[in-house]
């Protein structure tokens, strides 16, 4: 699992918009009160969740495919531009 810490709400919005342009996303529901929002990225035949927590942490459940590596790379690029 990959985590990005100190992600502001503004940066999260940029990340979400950037991912929606590049990948198919599906919103998900969570019963966890510490979760602000969670959604799944659908890419090819793989699906993995991205979760944004109230603690300003963005978590991505990785898998061995290149798809999750591409998503992580997109997020890193967006955060680098934002800072």
Q: How many domains does the chain have?
A: 1
16, 60 contact by CB (below 8 A): no
Whether 14 contacts 37, CB under 8 Å: no
Confidence at residue 67, expressed as pLDDT on a 0 to 100 scale:
80
pTM for the model? 0.86
Sign of CA dihedral 62, 66, 70, 73: positive
Over residues 30-64, the pLDDT tens digits come to 999 999 999 999 877 788 899 999 999 999 987 77
Provide the CA 37 distance to its chain's centre, in angstroms. 10
CA distances to 27, 37, 51, 52 from 32, in Å: 15, 10, 11, 11
Q: What is the CATH number of the domain that holds 69?
A: 3.30.310.10
List the domain range (segments joined by +) for residue 39: 2-82
Decide if 48 contacts 68 (C-beta within 8 A).
yes
Query: Quick one: pLDDT band at residue 1, thresholds 50, 70, 90?
Result: confident
């Amino acid at each position: 699992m990959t985590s990005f810490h100190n992600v502001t709400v503004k940066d999260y919005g940029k990340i979400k918009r950037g991912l929606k342009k590049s990948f198919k996303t599906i919103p998900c529901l969570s019963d966890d009160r510490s979760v602000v929002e969670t959604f799944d990225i659908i890419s090819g035949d793989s699906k993995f969740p991205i979760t944004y927590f109230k603690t300003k942490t963005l978590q991505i459940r990785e898998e061995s495919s290149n798809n999750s590596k591409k998503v992580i790379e997109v997020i890193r690029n967006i955060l680098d531009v934002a800072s």
